Structure 1
Amino acid sequence: MNAAIRTIHLTPPQLAQICTSTSWQQFMLAHMPSPDYATFCQSADVAFAQLSESDWLEAFAGHPMIGDLDTLQKKYSQGKHLSEQEQGEIKQASKAVLHDLLYYNQAYLKKFGFIFIICASQQSAEQVLEQLKARIKNNRSDELMNAAIEQQKISRLRMESYQ
């Protein structure tokens, strides 16, 4: 017996919790309702493929810095519970690792002009720090692409709750 296929129709606040790019949200709204989860995901992929650099930067700005739990609580109350889940392993880190995360995140922001974006779900703070140290060596265009890929992973995880 087949499970019933569920139509997906999200509101602007729900879409904003998935991705804070206004262009992405507008595209998704224009393609609502989605007849099923697979179509919903395809629409999201098409929307992501159309984003400009400024759209990506807007999406990145919707995330707290990895490991900056104070900022997470103060600034990002809209998607706080989602970011807390995604950074769950980070909260278990030692003070030294959290200090290094904050230090390298600030250096990354200064170098690239946007925060370090990584799908941290199921990763330890040490693993995230290792990737941050590796990616900070990249040039800006490569790192913008890496961050966009990670943004899409994060968004896909958030979309799963509408499956």
Structure 2
Amino acid sequence: MEATLNFEEKDWLACCGSTKFAKEMASASPFSSLDQAVSAARDIWFNKVDVNGWLEAFAAHPQIGQSSAPAAASHAASWSKGEQSTAISTASTSILQELADWNARYRQKFGFIFLIFASGRSSGEILVELKKRYENRPIVEFEIAAQEQMKVTELRLAKLFATRTRSAATGDQTFHRFMGTMDLEDRVSIIGGHFTPTPEASSGKPSQEVPTRTRPPITTHILDVSRGSPAAGVEVLLEMWHGAQPRPSFGGRGDAGGWVYQGSSKTNTDGRSGQLTSIVDAVKPGIYRISFNTGEYNPSGFFPYVSIVFEIRESQKLEHFHVPLLVSPFSFSTYRGS
């Protein structure tokens, strides 16, 4: 039986930098294992911490190449230094100057510092990633930064637990098992990837346990780009194709009755939908359609509603699918988010 470990709010704050995150983690404590804490942290960060909380966490980080962020907690400052050690040790004076220049350009465009999981990455690798991500749209880059923050938080949670369990064999095993998971996750594409645990252990052998999700496999949010704010109170409908044909036809001819209701909700004040489908370990592969009642939200707009059709393949059933909508009265776009 694993002993429960309890930490203070300041410990959780050092791991993330968001006061909302720290309060929610303290409320959810104690945790019997690191894995349990990580699951809670993912749920809190992606589902309970709002935009302001994300920005607060970003601001707690030092810029790549700096020693510490303003008013950084001792643990957080020490961890940041260690996380950037490879980048700093591999940086020439010219690279550091170029990083500083690009960091300034990035902050001017997006309004927050460039955030990346820096552990083990050289200064050259980080600079390449910075330049690539600079080309992103702000809403896309904001979510990428949030995912990078979660990577850093998970690593720091492992360090936090290791300080309490270093002398215990069970604690050491948990720590090393988690670090193996982090190595696998670092290989996942940042833009298209998600933090669903891999079904394989670091040994390469299939795991006997299916990963447990902390949120539904299909989610969405809506951003009103004409107002620069989330779109609240928009009805969202999720359906799955179960027609006589294996997939819906182009143009919808003969598709009547083929779409089957999966769930619906309305977006909250952050523009995020409620639960559209059950939290299941493996989502059923197939063709899905997510529709937004944009006509009710903006009666004077061009679109009475917007529908997005996408496919989940057999090889993707353990992944997470975030299908956001960026909308204005006369345009809309989407992308595979996280």
Q: Are residue 113 (structure 1) and residue 126 (structure 2) matched?
A: no
Counterpart CA distance in 1 for 2:71 and 2:101 is 19
**Alignment deviations for residues 44-67 of structure 1 (CA, whole Å, 9 cap, x no partner):** 011112221111000101000011
CA contact (8 A) 2:13 2:21 kept: no
Question: Matched residue of 1:89: which SS?
Answer: helix
Question: Matched residue of 2:85: which SS?
Answer: coil
Choose from 139, 142, 146 the match for 2:140.
142
**Alignment deviations for residues 12-60 of structure 1 (CA, whole Å, 9 cap, x no partner):** 2211110111111111011011122221111101111222111100010
Counterpart CA distance in 2 for 1:67 and 1:22 is 25
Choose from 46, 55, 72 the match for 1:76.
72
**Alignment deviations for residues 61-103 of structure 1 (CA, whole Å, 9 cap, x no partner):** 100001123xx28753532110011001122110000001111
Task: Report runs of 4+ in structure 1 exceeding 4 Å deviation.
Answer: none
Counterpart CA distance in 1 for 2:3 and 2:152 is 22
Counterpart CA distance in 2 for 1:75 and 1:95 is 26
Choose from 14, 30, 40 the match for 1:43.
40
Counterparts of 1:126-137 in structure 2, within 5 Å, are: 126-137=124-135
Counterpart CA distance in 2 for 1:5 and 1:19 is 25
Counterpart CA distance in 2 for 1:131 and 1:8 is 37
* One-letter code aligned to 1:132: L
Change in 2 beyond 3 A, CA 1:127/1:140: same
Where does the alignment leave 5 or more consecutive residues of structure 2 unmatched?
162-174, 176-338
User: Aligned residue for 1:160?
Assistant: 158
Counterpart CA distance in 2 for 1:30 and 1:102 is 39
Counterpart CA distance in 2 for 1:6 and 1:107 is 48
CA contact (8 A) 1:23 1:51 kept: yes
User: Aligned residue for 1:5?
Assistant: 2
Question: Matched residue of 2:10: which SS?
Answer: helix
* One-letter code aligned to 1:101: L
Counterpart CA distance in 1 for 2:150 and 2:30 is 20
CA contact (8 A) 1:87 1:120 kept: yes
* One-letter code aligned to 1:82: W
Q: Are residue 151 (structure 1) and residue 149 (structure 2) matched?
A: yes
Change in 2 beyond 3 A, CA 1:74/1:28: closer
Higher strand share: 2
TM-score, scaled relative to structure 2:
0.45
Counterparts of 1:50-129 in structure 2, within 5 Å, are: 50-69=48-67, 72=68, 75-76=71-72, 78=74, 79-92=76-89, 93-129=91-127
Larger CA deviation: 22-31 vs 35-44: 35-44
Counterpart CA distance in 1 for 2:97 and 2:71 is 20
Q: Are residue 31 (structure 1) and residue 41 (structure 2) matched?
A: no
Q: Which has the higher contact order (CA 8 A, sep 6+)?
A: 1
User: Aligned residue for 2:189?
Assistant: none
**Alignment deviations for residues 86-129 of structure 1 (CA, whole Å, 9 cap, x no partner):** 00112211000000111100111110000000000010000000
CA contact (8 A) 1:68 1:102 kept: no
Between Structure 1 and Structure 2, whose CA radius of gyration is higher?
Answer: 2
Counterpart CA distance in 2 for 1:127 and 1:80 is 22
Question: Matched residue of 1:115: which SS?
Answer: coil
CA contact (8 A) 2:16 2:22 kept: yes
CA contact (8 A) 1:8 1:40 kept: no
CA contact (8 A) 1:8 1:37 kept: no
User: Aligned residue for 1:14?
Assistant: 11
Higher helix share: 1
Where does the alignment leave 5 or more consecutive residues of structure 1 unmatched?
none
